[in-house]
Structure formats: C-alpha cells, structure tokens
Amino acid sequence: MTGLELRKNRVDALLGPGLNIHRSPLNGRNFEYISEDPLLTGKMGAAQIIGLGIAGSTGTIKHFSTNNQEAHRHEVEAVVSVRALREIYFRGYEISVKEGQARSVMTTYGPMNGLWTSGNYDLNTIVLRKDWGFEGIVMSDWWAKANTEGEPSDMKNHAAMVMAQNDLFMVTSDASDQTQDNLVEALADGRITRGQLQRNAKNILGFILKSPAMLYEMDMISEEELEDRKGDTEEDAAIDDIIYYESDEKGDVYIPGKDWDTQMGATIVFGINVESAEYDIEITARSPLGELSQLPITLYCDNVFKEMISFRGSQGEWFTDKREFGTLLGPSCHYIKIYFGATGLEIDNITLRYRKRVPGFDD
C-alpha cells in the first residue's frame, strides 16, 4: 500500500526505511529504526524495499552508518571496530542491498572513525559498491558536512563527497550556484577529476532510468495513470503561482498580505528563502468583528502542521500578534501554508523575525 501511495503522489523514492541498530534506548530515532538485531533489521528492511518495488517505487535505506544518537549528531564520532561494523552496524544494510536490491542510500550527519560519512570513500565505495555490488545512488542527509581526513568538517566540502561517491548533496535551493561549494576549485587544482564527476552523474542517471519518472516521460504506463500524471490539477496550477520572499540584511522575511483572499476555507501558500536560524512570527491583522468573535488560522511549514492560532475580533483596529515560530534550516527554501478557518480577518503583513543563528549548519 505504501508503494501504491508513493506512485499515486508521484514520489519515486521514500526516505526510509531506517536501519540503524537500537544501540541505546535513548536514541531519538529508535521510533523509525527496526530493532537491536542486525539480521531482523536487514530482513525487514529488504522486505520493505521489495514491497515498495512492486508498485515501481523504492526506498532509501538510512542512515549509513552508526547514527546511534540524536544529541550533537553532527559532531559526535562513532569509533567502532571493523568486526563490529561488519557484524552489527553494516549487516542490515548489506542484507537490504543484496536481498532487497536497494537502489538508494542516505549517509549520516556525523563522523565514523575519523571521517564524516558523506565523504567516506571506504564506506560509500569499497563496502557499499565493491563488496556488496550496490549500483544505485548515495545521498547526504540534509545539509550534511564532509571532511578530508585529518581536517575539520565543512558543509561546503562537496569535493570529498564526489570522491567518496556520495552522489547527491541534499538539499540546495539553486543547483546552478557554483559558489556554494568547493567543486570548481577542487576540479581546477586536481583534487577531483572530471571522471569522478561523470561517475556521480552516471549513478544518478542510472537511478532515474529505473524510476517511474522515466516511464512517465516515455509514456510507458497505463492510460489512466498517464492521464492522471499529465493532467493539470488546481493544486499543480497553484504551485506554479507561488511567490517567493527573500530575507533582508537582518535575516527577517517580510510577506505582504493585503491582497490575500482570507475567506473561510481559503488557503495561501508562499515560499521563503532563509538561513539556518530560530525565528519568531509576527502577524499584523485586523477584523471589523467584535471581541467575542473567533478567527482561527492554521499554519503549516513544508506541509507539516505548525500551529493553530485563534484571533479575536478587533473592531477594525490593527494589532500585531508575535510568537515563536521555531527553527528553519538553510540556506534553503521553505514553504508556508495558511488556512483560514473563518471569514472576517484582514492580513496586512506577516514577518518572520530572525532571532538567533542555529550553529553547525551554515558555518
């Protein structure tokens, strides 16, 4: 059923299953990892990949490898013997690759035995591809860092990822911006070669060729699915009309709202480009209704419920509501959706106020 749902929603790869071992009951991701048993983890992971594949989609096995805690996960080093890695921490991934034919792998945020996993050649090339015969793509976790052996980690060190065959850096709002990493510099001074970049591209293209996306492009699907895929829905049209707002020199994002349709049931969607930071949200609005009126709005960030705010009527007076919005990671684009639960609220503007930087992401 999950595979069918992915296919229906035009998703070719699920970001799961998670195959890390339950090394500690305090690991904040144990709810999505399978067990403390490497064999059971591998068998269940392989079964999930095979099940997704029936519908044409696939999964991304993660976080490769030794992601055993959430606290300080960008910096905490896992120091593990080769035997323990092979028999315990790698075993679930090996079974999922060999028996489940996994085609997508995500590395971790942190270092393992001195090297951040997104730039670890032994992990992503020797073990995964040479020893296990993996032929798919490897991606980083979101805004992960990498390092060259003996040097500190850096989110801009994509050259180490290229050499290790970590094919995709996730994520970037503008892939054409060549100033956001060190690839041009590394290619010029010989640290990486054109052949290594072509190898990454080959891995990515090989994955795409086996995905439903390619079948759609070649019209090699059923007439019903083809019609559904190519038909423009109201939601598709709305996506094309999204307006994007940039942060100013202070890190704030100002979104004017005077022209919005705020009738009951209306939805507003816009994009914001921000840096990694904690933000407050300020909503300046008014309502001609009296103080006993309730005017709820619901906020979503990247399609995830954020908060429901209930305003009161203000008898036509402008007011500003300020509250904590939370952390946004970047540099990246995020999507904000506002649902209006009642008629009678007029929005002048919404401002996301930069509160403080989140360390460790955009150093």
What fold, for 2-226? TIM Barrel (3.20.20)
pLDDT tens column, 42-96: 999 999 999 999 988 999 999 999 998 888 889 999 999 999 999 999 999 999 9
| pLDDT at residue 230, as a whole number | 60
Strands 243-246 and 267-274, by their bridges, are: parallel
pLDDT tens column, 184-224: 999 999 999 999 999 999 999 999 999 988 887 777 777 77
Non-local CB neighbours of 151 within 8 Å, separated by 6+ positions? none
| pLDDT at residue 179, as a whole number | 85
Non-local CB neighbours of 203 within 8 Å, separated by 6+ positions? 135, 136, 137, 138, 165, 167
Q: Which residue type, as a one-letter code, is found at position 241? A: D
- Say how many C-beta atoms besides its own lie within 10 A of residue 55's C-beta: 16
Q: Cα(273)–Cα(303) distance, rounded to whole angstroms?
A: 16
Of the listed ranges 25-39, 150-164, 349-363, the least confidently predicted one is 349-363
Question: Do the beta carbons of residue 6 and residue 55 sit within 8 Å?
Answer: yes
Which sequence spans correspond to the domains of the chain?
A: 2-226, 236-357
CA distances, 292 to each of 58, 82, 262, 310, 322 (Å): 52, 67, 19, 11, 20
* Residue 29 token pair: 């991701």
Residue 116 in this model has a pLDDT that exceeds 90: yes
Active site residues: 141
236-357 under CATH 2.60.120.260, yes or no: yes
- 80-118 per-residue burial string, b: 16 or more CB within 10 A, e: under 16: beeeebeebbbbbbbbbbeebbbbbbbbbbbbbbebbbb
| pLDDT at residue 69, as a whole number | 87
